[in-house]
Amino acid sequence: MDIAKQKIANNFYLILSGIFIASLVTSNLIFQKFFHWNAFGLFEFEISVGILPYPLTFLVTDIISEIYGKKKANNVVIAGLFASIFTLGVVMLADYVDATSWSPVTNGEFHHVFGVTSIAVGASMAAYLTAQFIDVQLFHFWKKLTKGKHLWLRNNASTFTSQFIDTCVVLLLLCSFDIIEWKYFGALLLNGFYSKFWLL
């Protein structure tokens, strides 16, 4: 590969990595708001707004896996983990310091929105690591099995499986820490998985 093509490849990898990390961090910060979504008039979802950017992380790792290989995809997953931990530290520090008397956002308001972020990020990271590594492994399993053919099959098979695992793990942890009531577990599991299916 000549220098110009290598530069383009490196820049594209950086852009994909940036999209991956931004999607991951954003989904962890905004997850507490839930909304109704009617999927093309076929199904009514009640899901977290965190689901809007999150499926992009699986799409990006599949693209990186296809173009740059398993190692590069795993590197992005690890980078996303460190970015999330760093973001968590910043949020916890911001929650700790006192707001001024004229601050548009009070201590209570900030804590109400971001106070459970540490639990949420912890749950998300456990689910994220499990699902993302499974996604990368399954993608390459299907790629080897199909001898590099049927991209749609390995992309969808790996993504849908890992998305279900991710949704299940994060809900189990959030319910265990009383962030979400157990009575919503089944509905949110189905809603979360079905909505990711529609978004993908």
> Using one digit for the tens of pLDDT, what is the confidence trace for 46-82?
777 888 888 888 889 889 988 998 889 889 988 988 9
Over 80: is that where the pLDDT of 103 sits?
Answer: yes
3-state SS class at 2: coil
Question: pLDDT tens digits for 105-145?
Answer: 999 999 888 876 666 667 777 777 777 778 777 777 877 87
DSSP 98-157: PPPTT-SS-HHHHHHHHTTHHHHHHHHHHHHHHHHHHHHHHHHHHHHHTTT--HHHHHHH
Over 90: is that where the pLDDT of 12 sits?
Answer: yes
What domains does the chain contain, in order, with CATH numbers?
A: 3-199 (1.10.1760)
